[in-house]
Amino acid sequence: MENKETVLVTGGSGFIASYCMIALLNNGYKVKATLRSLKKSDLVKQMLKEGGISSFEDLSFAEADLQDESSWEKAVEGCQYVIHVASPTPHTDAVTEDDFVIPAKNGVLFVMKAAKKAGVKRVVLTSAFGAVGFGTVKTTPYTEEDWTVLNDTVFPYQKSKTISEQTAWDFIKNEGAGMELAVVNPTGVLGPVLADDFSHSIQNIKQMLNGDMKACPKIISGYVDVRDVADLHFKAMTLPQASGQRFIAVAGEGYSLLDTANVLRKSLGEKASKVPSRELPNWFIKLLAIFNPKLKAVAPYLGMVKRASSQKAIAMLGWKPRSTEEAILATANSLIKMNLIQ
């Protein structure tokens, strides 16, 4: 048996990270997952089991924190690749932009430095569409040539994603000689949940099925299935032509929240009885937002149309994403199966 290569996957308890780990283990790699606390390792195993992994002999864990530089050298020891998915969760008391940006930027820098020191061949960074398509308005789809323009319309989270991705490219250019970087920029991530911890886009579907969303705000964005996001990370790690490139992960044209609701109603019958069937006018939500903090977060996105193209990943890496409709239904069915719907 040849020696298996080891991949460090950061933020191992996260939604995208767990699917990256499933793809790696299924393809014969060893995985070392970082967690802020090793107490979470049982949860991770439970999630991987839910995702079809039955043997954990090629899985190990390391404790590391994006705020603590010294924890990374030990974590990355003996690894040939790093898939850096972890993004610091701003503490609930994050107020200023710096509370978002500085941890994100430092986190990337700590991981890149440790990877370089350990002789890692290639780092794959999970960035976000937030680093591509904000601060500007385009009628044509956004591509990898586009970068978010850091102006006052950009939220701290998207700023942190943009700045941390730029930090990674700068590091490779200035100090990364011999190490390669590839970046994946997912849009809204959907797909089968493995536990009750999941992305914001899935929260929307859960709210629809639960009847918490009575009508849909007018927001159009791109979506992608988490299994395809993991596959794109795998291709970005293993294919020579991916080095030095960024790849948008999106399944197709943008979908509005109402389009999403329509897919659920059309396919799930009785289970979708609480799913909304109409759109709310923008002015009405803006009015309600004055009194409702949850809607206040939504208000700036109203009427926003952000279309993105994944032509590059399809043409260059042979990536084949599932349709948005399939991703929506896989999400809904898994929420129902895991009893996460009231």
- Is the pLDDT at 1 greater than 60? The verdict is no
State yes or no: is 161 an active-site residue.
yes
% of the chain surpassing 70 pLDDT = 97
pLDDT digits (tens, 9 = 90+) for 64-113: 998 889 999 999 999 999 999 998 766 556 678 888 888 889 999 999 99
Report the distance separating Cα 251 and Cα 198, nearest Å: 19
CATH of 6-189+225-250, one of 3.40.50.720, 3.40.50.10860, 3.90.79.10, 1.20.1250.20: 3.40.50.720
Tell me how far apart the 2 most distant CA atoms of the chain are, in Å.
Answer: 65
User: 289 or 245, which is more confident?
Assistant: 245
What burial class does residue 242 get, using C-beta atoms within 10 Å of its C-beta: 0-12 exposed, 13-18 middle, 19+ buried?
Answer: buried
pTM value? Answer: 0.94
Sign of CA dihedral 29, 315, 137, 145: positive
Q: What is the C-alpha to C-alpha distance for residues 334 and 224, in angstroms, rounded to an integer?
A: 16
- CB contact at 8 A, 122 and 180: yes
Residue 84: closest CA among 15, 11, 19? 11
Class of residue 342 by CB neighbours under 10 A (exposed 0-12, middle 13-18, buried 19+)? exposed
What is the SS3 string spanning the chain?
CCCCCEEEECCCCCHHHHHHHHHHHHCCCEEEEEECCHHHHHHHHHHHHHCCCCCCCCEEEEECCCCCCHHHHHHHCCCCEEEECCCCCCCCCCCCHHHHHHHHHHHHHHHHHHHHHCCCCEEEEECCHHHCCCCCCCCCCECCCCCCCCCCCCCHHHHHHHHHHHHHHHHHHHHCCCCEEEEEEECEEECCCCCCCCCHHHHHHHHHHHCCCCCECCCEECEEEHHHHHHHHHHHHHCHHHCCCEEEECCCCCEEHHHHHHHHHHHHHHHHCCCCCCECCHHHHHHHHCCCHHHHHHHHHCCCECCECCHHHHHHHCCCCCCHHHHHHHHHHHHHHCCCCC
pLDDT, tens only, 111-134: 999 999 999 999 999 999 999 999
For a pLDDT cut of 90, what percent of the chain falls above it?
76
Among 105, 161, 206, 235, the one annotated catalytic: 161
- Of residues 305 and 207, more confidence is placed in 207
pLDDT on residue 95 = 73
pLDDT at residue 184, as a whole number: 98
End-to-end CA distance of the chain: 49
Owner of token pair 């820098």 = 109
Does the pLDDT value for residue 2 go beyond 70?
Answer: no
Is the model's pLDDT at 282 over the cut of 90? no
Give how far Cα 277 sits from Cα of 258, 260, 295, Å.
7, 10, 19
Among positive and negative, which fits the CA dihedral 223, 228, 233, 236?
negative
Domain boundaries, the chain: 6-189+225-250
Is residue 188 within 8 Å of residue 252, measured between CB atoms?
no
All residues at 6 or more sequence positions from 36 whose CB lies less than 8 Å from its CB, including other chains:
63, 64, 65
Residues 145-199 have pLDDT tens digits of 999 999 988 888 889 999 999 999 999 999 999 999 999 999 999 999 998 876 7
Average pLDDT score over the chain: 93
**Of the candidate ranges 74-88, 195-209, 309-323, the one whose mean pLDDT is the lowest:** 195-209
Query: At residue 274, does pLDDT exceed 90?
Result: yes
